[in-house]
């Protein structure tokens, strides 16, 4: 059975032990282990025995966490408390079992899962919306407006589907269960399957058309647009979530789920900055003269400040060199007065071939360290000149040479013998 660890200790193993799997178990192994364990203590099989019901709930909670990659990662690092603090509330255990294995099974009841006594979800599903923001938005923080459409309880009939008392009747198609059950015999085993009732749209009840609420047409809810203001914290990361509790779809007798907004950093082609965790990377091209004698240039930062960047005296910059400006990176989330670093990655803009004049070459020869001495050159030597390398042309030449070699091999060989 599940027992909490003393405060201060992280229990990130109990769920694996409950299901009898290793931490690296595949999704298929998790599902198989859960089904095997849960069917042996399913409430239908044991007539809602309290001990078996508790065991069934713990197994279902464990499977729900470990089958969700995000919840599993949080559980592995912080245990069950981490899952709860991260908004990882648990769904109804029977709903989890029915979702994956089609309701009841092999001769075990199933009638108790009807509309009146079914352990259906008491909380609506969360609604997830992505929100595109720029790196500048994440640096400075902002508030974005997001228009969402959600279901709300009809005010005219107060969620009853009709303004007439007693208009709602039990659905004859599913006998008020909201689902229809069918049984199939597979060998010696009887498998019970369920499917949503199409006559009442899973509600378990029907209302005559003449008695339906004119506003919601008997659906009990209507779609309504709502604009929510989403706070984007300074330093928030791509994939972080902003939750609006119980702002999801409404339904009679059900607690609304949450609206969850997922922050997505939009990739801007013209952005000069690239983010890496709390740091920023800025690519800068400088001339050969700047690389040898020092540089200075301006950077307009993401908060519109202007930075005058200078090289240290005597610093020579090579292609691919990286310099750092401390504490000019991204604000740290929840602690925006601390920042990461700004890294500057340099490339060198070399002079083009043939652009240096003889006078410039002479000046460079006097200014730069001398070229190495060749020493004695043999009287018999060959003088060669390099040329720019064209990889495409080189590869094509290699292919042509190989083809010529194959063609030569295919030619018939001339015999050296003369037949009389």
Per-residue pLDDT reduced to its tens digit, 167-190: 888 888 787 777 877 777 666 666
Q: What is the mean pLDDT of residues 99-115?
A: 41
Residue 407 pLDDT exceeds 70: no
HSE (side-chain half, CA atoms, 13 Å) at 45: 16
Q: What is the mean pLDDT of residues 14-33?
A: 86
DSSP string spanning 329-395? SPEETTEEEEE--EEEEEEEEPPPTT-S-HHHHHHHHHHSPPPPP--PPPSS----------HHHHH
Domains and CATH numbers, the chain: 1-101 (1.10.287.110), 273-349 (2.60.260.20)
Query: What pLDDT score does 371 carry?
Result: 83
Inter-CA distances, 22 with 88, 100, 241, Å: 22, 21, 30
For 233, counting Cβ atoms within 10 Å of its Cβ (0-12 exposed, 13-18 middle, 19+ buried), the class is middle
Q: pLDDT exceeding 70 applies to what percent of the chain? A: 81
The Cα–Cα gap between 39 and 299 comes to 64
Q: What is the mean pLDDT of residues 313-333?
A: 93
DSSP 272: S
As given in the structure block, the two tokens for residue 419 are: 């037949």
Token pair 């030569």 in the structure block, residue: 408
Closest CA to 205 of 164, 163, 175, 244: 175
Question: Which band of pLDDT confidence, cut at 50, 70 and 90, is reported for residue 4?
Answer: very low
Per-residue b/e over 269-292, b at no fewer than 16 CB within 10 Å?
eeeebebeebbbbbebebeeebbe
DSSP string spanning 273-300? EEEETTEEEEEEEEEHHHHHH--EEEEE
The Cα–Cα gap between 143 and 236 comes to 12
Query: What pLDDT score does 225 carry?
Result: 93
Query: What pLDDT score does 103 carry?
Result: 44
Q: What is the mean pLDDT of residues 197-225?
A: 85
Per-residue model confidence as pLDDT tens digits over 345-404:
999 999 888 888 888 888 888 888 888 888 888 989 888 877 778 888 878 878 877 777
Closest CA to 234 of 86, 304, 343, 135: 135
Q: What is the mean pLDDT of residues 221-241?
A: 93
Inter-CA distances, 83 with 124, 333, 396, Å: 19, 20, 58
Question: Which band of pLDDT confidence, cut at 50, 70 and 90, is reported for residue 298?
Answer: very high
As given in the structure block, the two tokens for residue 220 are: 């009990």
DSSP, collapsed to helix, strand or coil, labels residue 123 as strand
């Amino acid at each position: 059975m599940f027992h909490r660890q003393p405060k201060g200790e992280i229990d990130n193993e109990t769920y694996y032990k409950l299901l009898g799997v290793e931490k690296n178990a595949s999704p298929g192994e998790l599902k198989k282990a859960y089904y095997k364990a849960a069917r042996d203590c399913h409430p239908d099989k044991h007539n809602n025995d309290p001990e078996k019901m508790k065991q069934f709930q713990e197994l279902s909670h464990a499977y729900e966490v470990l089958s969700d990659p995000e919840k599993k990662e949080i559980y592995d690092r912080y245990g069950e408390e981490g899952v709860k603090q991260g908004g990882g509330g648990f769904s109804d255990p029977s709903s989890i079992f029915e979702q994956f294995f089609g309701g009841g099974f092999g001769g075990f009841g199933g009638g108790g899962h009807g509309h009146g006594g079914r352990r259906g979800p008491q909380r609506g599903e969360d609604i997830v919306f992505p929100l595109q923001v720029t790196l500048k938005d994440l640096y400075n923080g902002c508030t974005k407006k997001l228009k969402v459409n959600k279901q709300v309880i009809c005010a005219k009939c107060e969620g009853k589907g009709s303004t007439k008392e007693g208009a709602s009747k039990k659905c004859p198609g599913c006998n008020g269960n909201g689902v229809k059950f069918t049984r199939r015999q597979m060998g010696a085993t009887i498998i019970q399957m369920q499917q949503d009732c199409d006559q009442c749209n899973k509600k378990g009840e029907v209302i005559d058309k003449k008695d339906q609420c004119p506003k919601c047409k008997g659906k009990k809810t209507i779609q309504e647009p709502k604009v929510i203001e989403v706070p984007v914290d300074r330093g928030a990361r791509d994939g972080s979530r902003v939750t609006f509790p119980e702002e999801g779809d409404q339904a009679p007798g059900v607690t609304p789920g949450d609206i969850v907004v997922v922050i997505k950093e939009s990739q801007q082609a013209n952005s000069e900055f690239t983010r890496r965790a709390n740091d920023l990377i800025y690519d800068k091209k400088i001339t050969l003269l700047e690389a040898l004698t020092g540089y200075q240039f301006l950077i307009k930062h993401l908060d519109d400040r202007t930075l005058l960047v200078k090289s240290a005296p005597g610093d020579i910059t090579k292609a691919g060199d990286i310099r750092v400006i401390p504490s000019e990176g991204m604000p740290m989330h929840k602690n925006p007065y601390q920042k990461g670093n700004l890294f500057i990655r340099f490339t060198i803009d070399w002079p083009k071939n043939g652009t240096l004049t003889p006078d410039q070459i002479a000046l460079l020869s006097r200014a730069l360290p001398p070229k190495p001495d060749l020493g004695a050159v043999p009287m018999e030597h060959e003088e060669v000149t390099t040329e720019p390398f064209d990889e495409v042309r080189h590869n094509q030449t290699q292919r042509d040479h190989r083809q010529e070699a194959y063609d030569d091999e295919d030619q018939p060989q001339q015999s050296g013998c003369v037949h009389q």
